Amino acid sequence: MAPSALLDAPLTTDSPSDRPKILIPEKVSPDGLALLSPYFEIHQPKNLSAEDLLSQIPTYQALIIRSETKVTASVLAAATKLKVVARAGVGVDNVDVGAATKNGIIVVNSPSGNIVAAAEHTIALLMAVARNVPAGDRSLRNGGWERSKLVGTEVGGKTLGIIGLGKVGLKVARMGVGLGMKVVALDPYASPEIAAAANVSLVGKLEELLPKVDFLTIHTPLIASTLDLISTKELATMKKTAKVLNVARGGVYNESALLEALEAGTIAGAGLDVFTSEPPSPGSPAEALCRHPKVVATPHLGASTVEAQENVSLDVCAQVLSILNGGLPTSAVNAPLILPEEYKKLQPFVRLIEKMGSLYTQHYSSKASFSGIGGKKFELIYEGELAAISNTRPLFAALVKGLTSAISDSGGRDVNIVNASLIAKEKGLIINETHTRESTDLVYASLVTLRASGRAGESGKLISGYVSGKAIYISRLDRFNTSFVPEGTLLVLHNYDEPGKIGGVGGILGRHGINIKYMSVAALDRGRGRSGSGEMSVEHSDSEAENEALMILGVQGAVGKEVEAELREEKGILDVSVVRL
């Protein structure tokens, strides 16, 4: 997808110092950066220390990294402006994704940009360990000509064991088959059909796989279940002639156990691209492995091809561009996938629902009976066309943002699709979404209703809204049908529906220099509301008097406490709330 597909309004090319800033502390291909440089100030410091990253991160909106930068919880907590961490590659084990989610920071990666590179590097190591290529090269450079000492083994006809038949593993499997190898794999989540189509025999247990293989390669992520997956016990069950490969992550083989097995002749060799600490720390088993005569080692070069680096750079920079412009990523690690077409349809409703949430909190918090939003049950009811959209996560997030923004203590952190559920949980909000497709008498293409029910004894509340073109409207507030744009400063006055009210209120506002921009008088809904939400029951603790109305005024000028108090004292005014949307 072209990055511009998600852009609503083009980003401005302000003078460099005013532009949002992007930090790129590692080498990332310039292909993707060209997408960003017209709009953002890009900093590419060399050898940025952990301390420098921590002190500099607060000024950046985006951070683009590879596998060397450690994006810790402390870095993310300090990153008050950061919207996105983009990993120009696959593995995000150097990013504290949980902390990013908590802070509302999207983590994106490039899940397929370097698969070919990683698979080809695995095959390069396979051939190198099978045919002693590096040892021959080393010997020759030192003036040697050691032919009989460096006799290798053919891979054709041999058994290649693969643990992890995902994107890289499957590619390696196909390449192995191409080399004439028999391929056996272990992956509890792999599709048997895909494996069969690639001529791969799946086995169910490690014990079944290990004794069979001449070469073993692991292509899993490093997670709790794969840490030290192959250690002393497992190595002991392998052929003495077997050789192992690791182009996944350091730690899937226990490095001390592997070193011992090579020393003891339990297995014959290893090709290693990744280590538990990179570069291996002095004196560590990883460092000893790199120097070991039976090992061919490379410094995490699996993704280091020109082509892969172009791919991953373009992938993540397009996502950074989209996110910094309020759009969506295409492959977020900690956010749900939403198709761009769906997101476009949802966008005006995102604005509407955020305003509805904010209107709810501000309008009702002025009432003596209001007991906060925590512990309340909210229902978002989607009617009409909107009911057909299944992925409404942005609408859920918009409600959480709207409800909490007026009372936010989230340290200025935005509520977004990444952290909305977490924040809702923290604030004790219970939010359900209902898709009502049966609504037949809707005036609008889609209608959204927010229904809030309080704790026992508290009355329920309703707010409905709709979208017309790009404009958003509130069509109902509790028992009153209305139509106003939820923007700017609004005065919501609950009053008796009798002559003179407008003049009295206008007089007070005029005396305080407050300009009325527009006014909407909302009448009591006496039947099924035209908005379709009339059948939803609203409990009232207020008087059920038939002659009540709501007056909604869009005003310009500061509405202070004294103005509010004066309005409350005005004859026939039952209640007043000031809402800033």
Ligand X SMILES: O=C(O)[C@H](O)COP(=O)(O)O
Ligand Y SMILES: NC(=O)c1ccc[n+]([C@@H]2O[C@H](COP(=O)([O-])OP(=O)(O)OC[C@H]3O[C@@H](n4cnc5c(N)ncnc54)[C@H](O)[C@@H]3O)[C@@H](O)[C@H]2O)c1
Q: Is 114 in the site for ligand X (CB under 6 A)?
A: yes
Range in contact with ligand X (rule: CB under 6 A) among 3-11, 86-94, 229-237, 250-258: 86-94
Determine the straight-line distance between the first and last CA of the chain, rounded to whole angstroms: 34
Smallest gap from residue 93 Cβ to ligand Y (A): 7
Please identify, using beta-carbon distances, which residue of 85 and 463 lies nearer to ligand Y. 85
Exposure string over 439-469, b if 16+ CB within 10 A, otherwise e? beebebebbbbbbbbbeeebbbbbbbbbbee
Residue 467 binding target from ligand Y, ligand X, none, CB below 5 to 8 Å by type: none
Measured at the alpha carbon of residue 143, what is the angle toward residues 139 and 148, in degrees to the nearest 5? Answer: 50
> Which residues lie closer than 8 Å to 491 by C-beta, 6 or more apart?
505, 509, 551, 552, 553, 555, 559, 567, 576, 577, 578, 579
Q: How many residues bind ligand X (CB under 6 A)?
A: 11
Applying CB under 6 A, among 20, 89, 394, 454 the residue interacting with ligand X is 89
Please identify, using beta-carbon distances, which residue of 91 and 529 lies nearer to ligand X. 91
Applying CB under 6 A, among 20, 104, 164, 285 the residue interacting with ligand Y is 164
Smallest gap from residue 85 Cβ to ligand Y (A): 16
Q: In terms of C-beta density within 10 A (0-12 exposed, 13-18 middle, 19 or more buried), how is residue 137 classed? A: exposed
State the helix-helix crossing angle for 167-178 and 115-131, rounded to 10 degrees: 50
Phi/psi region, residue 193 (left: phi>0; alpha: psi -120 to 50; beta: rest), is alpha
Cα dihedral across residues 197, 201, 205, 210: positive or negative: negative
Q: Is 136 in the site for ligand Y (CB under 6 A)?
A: no
Beta-ladder partners of 550? 494, 522
Please identify, using beta-carbon distances, which residue of 272 and 467 lies nearer to ligand Y. 272
Please identify, using beta-carbon distances, which residue of 95 and 397 lies nearer to ligand X. 95
Residue 66 binding target from ligand X, ligand Y, none, CB below 5 to 8 Å by type: ligand X
Q: Which strand (E) or helix (H) includes residue 343?
A: helix 340-365
Q: Is 72 in the site for ligand Y (CB under 6 A)?
A: no
Residue 357 binding target from ligand X, ligand Y, none, CB below 5 to 8 Å by type: none
Classify 413 as helix, strand or coil.
coil
Q: Is 44 in the site for ligand X (CB under 6 A)?
A: no
Please identify, using beta-carbon distances, which residue of 222 and 573 lies nearer to ligand X. 222
What's the chain's Rg over C-alpha atoms?
Answer: 31
Beta-ladder partners of 217? 162, 245
Asked about 278 being catalytic, the answer comes back as yes
Instruction: Tell me, residue by residue from 297 to 316, as one string, x for binding to ligand Y by CB under 6 A and - for no binding.
Output: ---x-xx-------------
Options 121, 219, 249, 476, the catalytic residue: 249
Q: Which residues are part of the catalytic machinery?
A: 249, 278, 300
**Binding site residues, ligand X, CB under 6 A:** 66-67, 88-91, 114, 300, 302-304
**Binding site residues, ligand Y, CB under 6 A:** 90-91, 114, 118, 163-169, 186-190, 219-222, 225-226, 247-249, 273-274, 300, 302-303
